[in-house]
Chain A
Amino acid sequence: MKQKPITFSDTLSDFKRQTLRVMRLTLCLLLIASMHVYANGYSQKNISINVQNKSLKQVLQEIEKSSTYRFLYNQGVLKNVDKVTLQVEKVTITEALDRLFAGTDISYRELSNDLVVLNTIGSELPVDITIKGKITNPNGQPVPAASILVKGTSIGVAAEANGTYSINAPDDGILVVSAVGFATQEVSINGRATINVALAMADLSMDEVVVIGFGTQRKRDLTGSITSIKGEDLQRMPNTNPITSLQGKVAGLTVSPSGRAGSAPVVRIRGINSTNSASPVYVVDGVLHDNIEFLNPADIESIDILRDPSSIAIYGLRGANGVIAVTTKKAERGKTRINFQSTVGIQTVQDKISVVDANGFKQLYDAQLANLNAAPFDYTNYNANTNWQDLVLRNAIINTNNLSISNNTDKATTLLNIGYTYQDGVLRNDNHQRFLVRLNEEIRIHKNFKVGGEINGTFIKDNPPAVGITNALWAAPIVPVQEDATTYYSMPSFQRAQVGNPISSLNRNDRTSINEDYRLIGTLFAEWKLLNDFTLRSTIYGDFRFSNNRGYNPLPFTVINLGEGAAPTERFLDPQARTSVSQSSAESRRFQQDHTLTYNKNLGDGHNLTGLLGFTSIYGRSSSLNGSRRDTSLNIPNDPNFWYLGVANQNNPIFNGGGGSESSIVGTFGRVSYSYKGKYLVNATIRRDGSSKFAPENRYGTFGSVGLGWVASDEDFFDNIKSINFLKFRGAYGTTGNANGFSDFLWRPGLSNASSAVFGDNIYTAVQALYIPDSTLQWETVSGLDIGFDLKMLDNRLSVGATYYNRTTKGILTSVVIPNETRRFFTNLGEISNKGVEITLGWDDRIGRDFSYNVSANFSYNENQVQSIGNNLDFQILGNGGANRTITGFDIGHFFGFRQTGVYQTTAEIARNPAFSTSFPGDIAYQDFDGNGVLTQADRQYLGTPFPPYNFGVSIGMQYKNFDVNIEGQGMAGYKIYTERRTSNFATLNYESNRLNAWTTPGSTNIEPILDNTRGNNFLFSSHYLEPGDFFRIRTIQLGYSFSAEQLRAIGVKSARVFVSGQNVFTFSKVTGYSPEPQIGSILGGGADNGSYPVPSIYTFGVNLTF
């Protein structure tokens, strides 16, 4: 059968068209802006004059009288000319003057402001004039001590306290006005005697430094794609995990949060690179981590997101999915500061899943039983109407506090930070607490030698809830909750074995597991500046984790089994249930060392060179131990003080286990950054990596990158384009190795001896291969191109950036399901590409003195394609029971199934239309994709992607006097969510409201199939279970008030700000689950919503005080 062209390509090209449209728009915007520049230079005025035999001086005065032109000349210029005659009608000044001076030795120059300078030909010396004026800031207030310099000379003055100045300068000269904190401005004199200059606030963004791995670089010198987010922008949002706050702020970054207390979001940078792990690596002040939950958001100075292979090449093998580099706060120079921040908020689930109530349930279950020809259910004793969802969810508190004290003297810098976070989950009993301390110290022993270090301590305590939300969605609403605190109703017989009473489970296991996680991260560095240009820096890091969990299995509650039919209502308290306790602990150590030698020299004549050479290694070990004991004679009390293994006598059943791991990576690297006059930029990196994950002969890989940049706005020919302040073109190409998330030692034939053979009652250890080993396992290689431009214009008010990237992963490390086989096969397989564009726009301006605002928006589009997979295996990778498919020529893990066209209404309709041999009225009708007249498995087709190709974010900030308002919105589009929670049919579960519209009789519906779970055709994976995920969410609305210095002086406070904030306040989406956030955690089987933990709305009040 021939595969028809896929309809999704149409959709895709739609996407492309839209993308192009946006790009075109950006281009137009640029053109309009630059044309505006030229229009200013072409003002046209006509002159009419009629003079006969007048002196030249008189003629010039006539022109001055009848027009706006003014002439500037030395008397001597005119001395060689006698009387002249000039008769012109509506000509340009040029024409008039050309005629007037024809045959004389006078030349002229037209300046702006209708000023014309006359000179004797051959002696066109500029005329020195005296210029006076005032220098002000954007609010019109004087800028004292601004420096006014004649360009190209050493002539200069400083402005007075009231902002005025006076300087002698050539009439055609250029004044360079500069002041600290303001953008340097160049003004052409053009003969003017009065020049007032309003200085714009300096745009320092291009001079900001960003983290580039083992060093920093000025933003303007970058050649790759790195976005820097300031800590203060993150702290505005009361998320306990700072990464969640990055949502919508960075083009190309997809963040899918989890609403669960304290848990980390799923993060993807520029699509999915690998079938294995697509999570970026986190680098906190140089240390590589898998997460940053140990960081206090208030303690973050900035986060840099490195997205392209050239930028991440220096990080080597851990960075291939992108790098999120976090710089923590250091003490500010020369100040002692105490800062206190606190927020308190309430989290609430806004959009609950619509499930039927008791009446709806009875109606639907009756219908289902009727369709199954089964006897009706006896509801006599089931007359409750319980909303289980409401009972397990709650409004939950979130409270964050942070106190930091910093001190900075000549010799030392100290920062001490203490944080405490308390978060209840919106699911009852879910609780997360976190204590953080951080001490950062830097000692300058000598001007060329400093040492320093940091200690970061974290304590996290979790009380996970005992039930999942799905439990509450499944439980039948006809069941009452409880009789008293220890007597609960069980579910009806049709779901008794599969679904427990959610409240009973919640209450029985309330705080019966105590999870404590301790972590200590220490850093020690020494930095030696030698011979002016060299810096030698050595850093060692240690990351020590210890977790200590305890649990208790309490006695069950009394259960009431309500009578059904002949079965009477009865109470049951399981006499065989016993209490048990468990303890587990795990420890891990990770050591990292970095040694770098940096050479930084201004070679003169505009040549600037930075070279870096370094070595790094990471070594990690871990071990774990767990055990439990069940007491067969005494009941262990429900009191955490008893929950230790020793409380149960050792003759009771005992279980224990333990394990460990060891892995390491090493890398040597070098980087050269060269710039010429700050205009021509070259960055090149090479890195050789080794990983213990691979066989000794395959361990090493060499990767590298090169980036080129051109700051066009620094070229001379740009001097005339006044409205463009900065323009840089950049391009970079790089490769990097990846083995992220891939288990150790898969090249060795691993064995499991966990299982056993049994003969009689004798038990023997059995050995089984864990997987099919591939001894040739190698790095997967990510390589990519990144080109783009950065633009600032209209007095730095408008900023535009656009990037195109094309990235390919070759030899992807994949766990393959082999047909007819239970062992997995881990191998290098195939090639995946991600192409896309990222556009950012920013506008920053003020209106009047008191109102300033900024708007920024970003948009990104990513197109994922599997270029090849399994070419040597000739099969495909299926995920989530076949709902997702990964195959050459399509995007990774796309949905693959039948497309619903309707519901068969009658047997006649089935006979007329393509159908399965097993189709009945009330079944879903699917599209006959191959057009052969019957439905077969060949009619499955591409149904969309679970991964959002479109990401966009917009943020508006406003400041009026002491008030500030911040609104942020974020959205994603172009993906599907699989409502897998609706497909569970292992028992009779509560129905979602959509089933109220199930097919009953011909004509009743064309969407929802009949209530009959024998009809397997309706459970085939199809578009029926997909919904568009597109959404736009108002992530943040915040109103803040900053007290003025005068108000605070009396109470000894330097600055104070209070705010109220709402998060996830409005959502525009058609998704039926708790939240529209895409389910992107699984790569090969993504997109399934099984009642995922709701991402709540949060309303917060906060205060920020500095002493």
Chain B
Amino acid sequence: MNSEKLTGTAIRFVLNDAAFAFRDIQDRIIDGGLTRIYSWVIASFIKDGKLPSPVNDLPWPVSFTRPLSITVDQTRVSSAEIQLLQNSLLTYADFWNARGKDWREELRQHAKEEQFLDELSKETGVSVNRLRALPAGSASIQEPAPEPETEQTARAA
């Protein structure tokens, strides 16, 4: 509403505070409604023979992926997520579902693109590295430098 007077640190706090409120609503919808809806629908599918029962487990365990949390530091968050993915601390499911996409479909699409690059490279004689916009594994996202401390933040500290 009125964030023009806020410093970078203050606006991060405000967004974090707002994110908690949104998370609270998500918790209520998931815990109070969606988990039960999921169980009812899956039970119905199993009963109707549209879905097999799980082996050695009950069919109810489920988790829900939430949308990306609100942030002003999209670049910083993306950089952190890439590191977490590379270190197996973030799953593809969490990464893609938060963006409203099926991780399996995204990985499948990625594999198709890699396959196509290989084929195109053979066909044209242009190396795969030259066909890519960026070489694989290159650090394409630079973490932003910390903001300089303003007079206002210095006084607050």
Q: Indicate, yes or no, whether A interacts with B.
A: no
